């Protein structure tokens, strides 16, 4: 009597239970519940995993990456447009580029521990794919694409308000922002007088000097900044001055 073949209980295109459990934990960590979990799974599925499981008919994340890239640029563009009304088109473009570039996306992905959830083929796993910058950046964009399809743009923005936008708020990308020029333009629009920058203190040993700079408008103090160089201190002072002037307008 012929023996029956052992049944394979894993359905085509369905992840193993352990993998689904891991993605359940990820959703808990992110405080996001996907209506269509398959989109989340796809966002973390690398082409190497698909190639090694051809019979399972999985789908890789490359199309979601394409979509997520566009959604991310739109979301960041809208945020910057609303937050920095004094910025020129060129400055906005430069700042956006710094936010959505590969090194920045890798930082976001690593902070969310996305690397440990990526579904990789054995070869890619052995060659360090889980920590490869380009792969991590792609997964972050794929996740954005999946979230957009599953819950819409508002949910993407809510996610970025937790993960990305606060970094802009604290000046993580200030190296590409010229706050002094922005402040100058803001002052000129109102014809309020001349800006002056003055070093009011120097702290620390010679090899680790910290400069303290004050920016004033017509002898009225607008902001005080600190920095490892005079230029950095002036930029921080200008950033605080911009914030102070904007708050005054809002009030």
- The predicted-structure confidence for 122-154, as pLDDT tens digits, reads as follows 888 888 888 999 999 999 999 999 999 999 999
**What are the domain boundaries of the chain?**
17-174, 179-250
pTM above 0.85, yes or no: no
- Domains 17-174 and 179-250 are alike in CATH topology: no
Radius of gyration of the chain, Cα coordinates, nearest whole angstrom = 24
Residue 185 pLDDT = 80
Pick from 175, 173, 195: which is nearest to 242 by CA?
Answer: 195
Structure tokens at 79: 């945020």
Helix (H, G, I), strand (E, B) or coil at 157: helix
Q: How far apart are CA 103 and CA 167, in angstroms?
A: 14
Topology at the third CATH level for domain 179-250: Double Stranded RNA Binding Domain (3.30.160)
Q: Give the catalytic positions in this structure.
A: 69, 141
Residue 9 pLDDT = 47
Residue 42 vs residues 32, 66, 87, 110, 229: alpha-carbon distances, Å:
16, 13, 38, 19, 46
- What is the DSSP code string of 171-186? TTTGGG--HHHHHHHH
Q: Is the confidence at residue 101, as pLDDT, over 60?
A: yes
Q: How far apart are CA 215 and CA 181, in angstroms?
A: 13
Cα torsion angle, 128, 131, 137, 138, sign: positive
- pLDDT 10s digits, 27-60: 999 999 999 999 999 999 999 988 887 776 788 9
Topology at the third CATH level for domain 17-174: Ribonuclease iii, N-terminal Endonuclease Domain; Chain A (1.10.1520)
Q: How far apart are CA 3 and CA 144, in angstroms?
A: 48
Task: Outline where the chain has alpha helix (H).
Answer: 17-30, 37-43, 47-52, 62-83, 89-100, 102-111, 122-126, 133-151, 153-163, 165-169, 179-190, 230-250
| Polymer length in residues for the chain | 251
Q: How far apart are CA 153 and CA 143, in angstroms?
A: 13
């Amino acid at each position: 009597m012929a023996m029956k073949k052992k049944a394979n209980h894993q359905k085509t295109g369905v992840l193993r239970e352990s993998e689904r459990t891991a993605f359940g934990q990820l959703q808990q960590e992110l405080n996001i519940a996907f209506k269509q979990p398959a989109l989340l799974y796809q966002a973390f599925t690398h082409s190497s995993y698909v190639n090694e499981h051809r019979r399972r008919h999985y789908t890789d994340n490359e199309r979601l990456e394409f979509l997520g890239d566009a959604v991310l640029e739109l979301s960041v563009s809208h945020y910057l447009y609303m937050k920095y009304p004094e910025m020129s088109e060129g400055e906005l473009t430069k700042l956006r580029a710094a936010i959505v570039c590969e090194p920045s996306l890798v930082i976001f992905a690593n902070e969310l521990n996305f690397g440990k959830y990526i579904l990789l083929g054995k070869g890619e796993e052995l060659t360090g794919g889980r920590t490869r910058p380009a792969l991590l950046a792609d997964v972050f964009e794929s996740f954005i694409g999946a979230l957009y399809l599953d819950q819409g743009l508002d949910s993407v923005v809510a996610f970025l308000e937790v993960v990305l936008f606060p970094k802009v708020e604290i000046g993580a990308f200030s190296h590409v922002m010229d706050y002094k020029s922005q402040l100058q333009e803001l002052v000129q629009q109102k014809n309020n007088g001349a800006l002056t920058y003055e070093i009011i203190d120097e702290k620390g040993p010679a090899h680790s000097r910290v400069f303290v700079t004050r920016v004033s408008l017509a002898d009225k103090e607008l902001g005080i900044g600190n920095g490892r160089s005079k230029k950095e201190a002036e930029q921080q002072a200008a950033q605080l001055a911009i914030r102070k002037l904007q708050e005054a307008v809002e009030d």
